[in-house]
Amino acid sequence: MNCKQIHKLLPDYLDQNLSEERSILVRTHIESCKDCAMLYNKMQQSLNFLKPTSEISEQPFYFTRLKQRMENTMETKTSILSLRISKKVLQPLIYLSSLVIAVYIGILIGSNSSMPNQFTGLNSQEQKYIEEFVEYNYLNDLEIEPIETLFLIDSSSVNK
């Protein structure tokens, strides 16, 4: 047999799927041909590498633990469902209560501002002075200004 024919038969030889005659022919060729022997060794190493080194041992109570884990997952899903429902109910209630509290505080603050002299210790003279000062400044702001000052024109040059 030539090397090409041996190369085709090597996988079957490694799996021991050849007849005895062919196995003997392949074995004798491998012993005499260094290239085919090297290919045979590489293929054997590759197959040994792919084979599992140890089998997975049986685990006692595997089914029981798996079932328990599945039940725990179902409980978690129901708790998530209850959390979503509580979020849909509790969140608007919290917002509503905070809004009501804010409006109540605003009303309390507004009702206390109706007494102007509650926190200021002004006597009647000081209060009159402040009222006159405010009124004077308000009236002075309403005085008509000459048009020259609006356009930044020198009024002395306009009068000449």
Residue 12: inside a domain: yes
Residue 144: inside a domain: no
Q: What is the pTM assigned to this prediction? A: 0.35
The whole-angstrom separation of Cα 119 and Cα 115 is: 9
- Compute the radius of gyration of the chain from its Cα atoms: 51
Residue 154: inside a domain: no
Residue 120: inside a domain: no
Mean pLDDT of 101-108: 92
Residue 121: inside a domain: no
Considering the domain architecture, whether residues 35 and 9 belong to the same structural domain is answered as yes
Domains: count for the chain: 2
Question: Cβ neighbours of residue 22 under 8 Å, at least 6 residues apart?
Answer: 9, 13
Residue 23: inside a domain: yes
Model confidence at 141: pLDDT above 60 = no
Selection from 94-98, 120-124, 142-146 with the highest mean pLDDT: 94-98
Considering the domain architecture, whether residues 71 and 32 belong to the same structural domain is answered as no
Residue 78: inside a domain: yes
Show the domain range for 77. Answer: 65-113
Residue 130: inside a domain: no
- Going from the C-alpha of 120 to that of each of 23, 124, 130, the distances in angstroms are 116, 12, 13
